[in-house]
Amino acid sequence: MRVILPDKSELELPDGATGLDAARAIGPKLAEQAVLVRTNGQVRDLRLPLDDGQQIQILTMRDGDDPDALWVLRHSAAHLLAEAARRLYPGTKVAIGPPIENGFYYDFEFPEPVGEEALERLEEEIRRELGEGREWERWEVERDEARRFFEEQGEPYKVELVETADGEISFYRQGDFVDLCRGPHLQDSKPIKAVKLLSLAGAYWRGDETRPQLTRVYGTAFYDPKDLEAYLHRLEEAKRRDHRRLGKELDLFHFSELAPGMPFWHPRGMVVWNALEDLRRRENARRGYEEIKTPLVFDNELWRTSGHWEKFRENMFFLEAEGREYGLKPMNCPGHCLVYADAPRSYRDLPLRLAEAGTLHRNELSGTLHGLLRVRHVTQDDAHIFCTAGQLEAEILGCLDYAFFLYDLFGFDMRVELSTRPDNRLGADEEWERAEAALASALGKRGIAYDVSEGEGAFYGPKIDMHMHDVLGRSWQLGTVQLDFQMPQRFGLAYAGADNAEHTAAMIHRALLGSLERFIGILLEHTGGNLPVFLAPEQVRVLPVSDGHHEAAFALAGELRFRGFRVAADARDETLGRRIREAEVAKTPYIVVWGERESRDALAVRKHGGEQSTMSVDALLAELEAAAKL
């Protein structure tokens, strides 16, 4: 048999050869350092046999920055954690332990509750295991044998996994620990040079709140200790930038257990919110969108028509009144379909662009809620475009241009994905192919590079998802442009064409900032709370040095306020230094000090962060006008 290497050369191997055999055939050093085989974008254990004509790439310890190489390292580290937990806490039952972005976790049912002190004990035990060295052995077993093994081990979670597993069942052993696992894993533990256990959390078995709550132990691992050090530094910076902490410090919002996952916006927070709303309304109007408002609650018959009842019901809230069953809307699109259907439409009426920053509710599991980034009360900068087939490309391009206009305002570095048909979907494959091709064509027309995210489309259509990278290198999805041929059919959304025949409209769903809650949370973390001047709740704070300067300071504050800026004057009986520090903590972009030496021609202006200058009132106004302009 032959396999094809990355440089297109062919490597001849005996039938049944494994990835490790291929590495040995190339050279002993490669075989020693090999950690994984990658083939056609998929990861594969080194121990598995290769197919004739297969394209392969062998990843090694030197590929420490490669996501797949890190994935297998962290997968093996998770198994070391499970071995350590069973040894240190006899009677512990193990559940699942996958690698995840930036690390790994393992879920356990400990015989007694454990606290943060367990992290240090477990980490020390893992270091002992690494000192001894571990090798991973893989073999396949029959389902009945696997079930018997875990029943004898007293591992009910593994028994359940065996019973629900698809395909072949494989075991991996390191030391005296045997786990049910598809792999892949390292050859041995030598590549694991740095491990850190990070936190504990509760997690329901299989994400089902009716099942037992387990203890989830999070950790991470790297090929190089320097990479771990850099990662921990980023974690500390992320804690400093946590939007939940900043929201409290800046008095923007809070959460209450009386309304889980639903933020309470304070006056300063509403300044930020309304500035984004003003931006949304202004730019929508410039681009021909019409504002509408639809109800929060609909009869469940609407959700059956739209497909949400079939595909999205578990994420919805429901209520009953006077014998009728209703659902709180999780999306605006069905309501917009009703607005379209309320009047006869002609091709001359299209495109029809309907916008609504509607309040939505989604029944997210309590364990997944995370400040503004994952909420149950959602407000999207939503719009739906109803158009003819011939207008599709221009409308998709218009959405993309609008999106990148917004992202450029904030200086975001964007990455684009084309998300294709999921398994759980409506409609025929031919319709999906047509929709996917239309989105891909629009991206090509604009010269926008993109990755394909297989199976990640919405249940009603494919989508273009736009992600930004923040200052910590994290990726966040913001906007989405989705093409839908399903809802127009289900709602009978027709128009009279130029040929006087009836045609079904096409529908584009688009949200560009995405959820406003999530966008503000991301922006707070990206900026560390130092919001752009145009969004800052307080743009200027004027500080009189003493009582004799109050009149001039308040007059300046009033003048700036009259010009449309958000201004406060702080004349409290505190030292000037303390008032400056408090303005800095509040992240006010401009601090103006008025004392004996200050006048309209010479203001002492301090920008947030410490930069100081002297400027006239007119110069300050000109700078503020430029900085606060959206």
Catalytic residues: 333, 362, 380, 382, 384, 463, 509
Of 338, 341, 337, 389, the C-alpha closest to 499 is 389
C-beta atoms surrounding 413 within 10 Å: 11
Of 305, 512, 284, 502, the C-alpha closest to 388 is 502
Q: What distance in Å separates the CA atoms of residue 630 and residue 627, rounded to the nearest whole number?
A: 8
State phi, psi for 505 to the nearest 5 degrees: -70, 155
The 3-state secondary structure of 516-533, one letter per residue: HHHHHHHHHHHHCCCCCC
Q: What distance in Å separates the CA atoms of residue 626 and residue 623, rounded to the nearest whole number?
A: 5
CB 50 within 8 A of CB 22: yes
Give helix 143-153 / helix 156-164 axis angle, nearest 10°: 170
Residue type, 140: E
Give one DSSP letter per residue of 546-612, joined into a string. SGGGHHHHHHHHHHHHHTT--EEE---SS-HHHHHHHHHHTT-SEEEEESTT-BTTBEEEEETTS-E
CB 506 within 8 A of CB 387: yes
Q: What distance in Å separates the CA atoms of residue 621 and residue 630, rounded to the nearest whole number?
A: 16
Residue type, 124: E
CB 177 within 8 A of CB 79: yes
> Which of helix, strand or coil describes residue 627?
helix
CB 432 within 8 A of CB 439: no
Residue 6, token pair as written in the block: 């990355």
Query: What are the percentages of helix, strand and coil residues in the chain, rounded to 5?
Result: 40, 30, 35
Q: What distance in Å separates the CA atoms of residue 33 and residue 188, rounded to the nearest whole number?
A: 10
Residue 388, token pair as written in the block: 């003819």
Q: What distance in Å separates the CA atoms of residue 487 and residue 493, rounded to the nearest whole number?
A: 8
C-beta atoms surrounding 532 within 10 Å: 16
Pairing outcome for strands 297-299 and 359-361: unpaired
